[in-house]
Amino acid sequence: MMTRRDLFAATAASVNLWSKESPSVRQATGFRIGEITPDSAAVWARHTAAVSRLNGGIVRTGHAPKAAVIAPGDDVNKFEGACPGAAGAIRVMAEPASGRGRKITSRWVDVGAETDFSNVFRLTGLQPDTPYKLAAETRKGAALTGSFRTAPVATQAAGVHFALSSCQIYCRQDRPDGFHIYESIERLAPHFLLSCGDNVYYDSEDPVVNSAAVARYHWQRMYSLPPLLRCLRTVPGYWQKDDHDVFSDDSWPGRAVAKQAPFNYEEGRKLFREQVPAPPEGQPMYRRFRWGRDLEVILPDSRDYRSPNDAPDGPSKSIWGAEQKKWIQQALSNSDAAWKIMVNPNPIVGPDHARKNDNHANPAFAHESREFRHWLKDNVPGRVIVMNGDRHWQYHSVDPDTGLHEFGCGPASDEHAVPPSRGEDKRFHKFLRVKGGFVTIRVNPDDRESHLVFEHRDVMGQVVHRAVFGNPMKTG
């Protein structure tokens, strides 16, 4: 079977369009492949005015409380890392890496300022469990190339290897050109990456976002960093939003923040879909996907439907909202996958900082948390594991009340790590590390004893903690 590394080498060796990248490729923010299924994929592409990011210019970095709005008349396109867009036309092409099979070519799409000069192409009619090479091309013929693999069908006993990351803040990079974790993830070549929120920091990093232009600048300077560009050309993703990359810290719909006015939550919600290959407008951001016989991944939305954090706790207070909560329970109950992994942007088990009040590990949402954890125990015992970002430390916890396992991936760099205010809690913690990194997850369908493996990794990709689960479908 061709590995992802073999696929990349074959792509690079090709003598046709796939390898003829021009030095004039005007796609300084690269492309993002996402929402992979057995027969479809979404590709985000953008036409830029220049071939690369602005590496000089005005430097605006700093974390709260020093973060400030830009001065009247300042032009974000003159800031370091800017990648202003330009009007033009883009199309994408996908073809089985073997050269045998249907080639998909999208129509040309004219892009303009109303979408930040970007478009999400939705490719359909792909073959299951198949390596594809991909090209995003501009009208002048310059192409940016990459690759991905489609998911296997739900009846196929297929192995899967994926990664989870969160909390990447621009001012706390750990190498001159970005973040070590992206080179580490690229080297491991997982089938996909789950980015579970705080992709950028609108409210607490300089410049503070008070307009769509400044919000888009945050995405431009982050995703034009070389390690991100390289990794995301061959590692597709599924993106979730959290508070900082939709509006402000601990935010909910309707919340107002004076320093960010006139920018608001609703504008941030729309811009998130503009910047990643997310489900199209009109469809909920919560979704599920299957990867073969043994794995189902549930991706809730923890922002769009929540009650205000400061509302009194009780049966009517919710992070997910009644409709989404019903959908989550049905998705978990109806799945016949051996493992259901629910990636919630925020913790459910924790424990969390004593001062926080915006997630299920806090007293502010204790009723819904307790209700859900006990529902899992009673309805899908031992077959659901939850994962999260948002917290700035890595951990593996087990809820002493219900036995629910939770894995927190930690921040993208050691510089962004912060210890939990309560410290280690041996009632919960099986592992606690106040450093950055990510988590990799591997499902091994032929290994009864190590059917599911979680590995916390440091920013360089070294394993620092390992948890192993046997196949719950084979108990005899």
Residue 92 DSSP SS3: strand
pLDDT digits 0-9 by tens, 12-25 = 333 234 344 456 78
* Least confident residue range of 203-212, 448-457, 466-475: 466-475
Name the pTM for this structure: 0.93
- Please determine, for residue 448, whether its predicted confidence score (pLDDT) is greater than 60: yes
Residue 344 DSSP SS3: coil
Q: What are the distances in angstroms from CA 441 to CA 39, 179, 246, 413, 451? A: 23, 20, 27, 20, 11
Q: How far is it, in rounded angstroms, from Cα 164 to Cα 286? A: 17
Backbone φ and ψ of 122, nearest 5°: -110, 105
Q: How far is it, in rounded angstroms, from Cα 267 to Cα 109? A: 24
Nearest CA-CA partner of 344 in 389, 391, 401: 389
Tokens 């991936």 sit on residue: 409
Q: Rounded mean pLDDT of 385-410?
A: 97
- Model confidence at 141, pLDDT cuts 50, 70, 90, reads low
- Model confidence at 473, pLDDT cuts 50, 70, 90, reads confident
Nearest CA-CA partner of 114 in 216, 200, 242: 216
By CB neighbour count within 10 A (0-12 exposed, 13-18 middle, 19+ buried), where does 372 fall?
Answer: buried
Q: How far is it, in rounded angstroms, from Cα 421 to Cα 432? A: 13
- Model confidence at 474, pLDDT cuts 50, 70, 90, reads low
Amino acid at 237: G
pLDDT, averaged across the chain: 93
The β-bridge partners of 441 are 162, 454
- The pLDDT, as a whole number, for residue 16 is 39
* Domains of the chain with bracketed CATH: 1-48+83-148 (2.60.40.380), 151-469 (3.60.21.70)
Backbone φ and ψ of 190, nearest 5°: -70, 165
Residue 43 DSSP SS3: strand
Q: How far is it, in rounded angstroms, from Cα 80 to Cα 171? A: 12
Q: Rounded mean pLDDT of 352-359?
A: 92
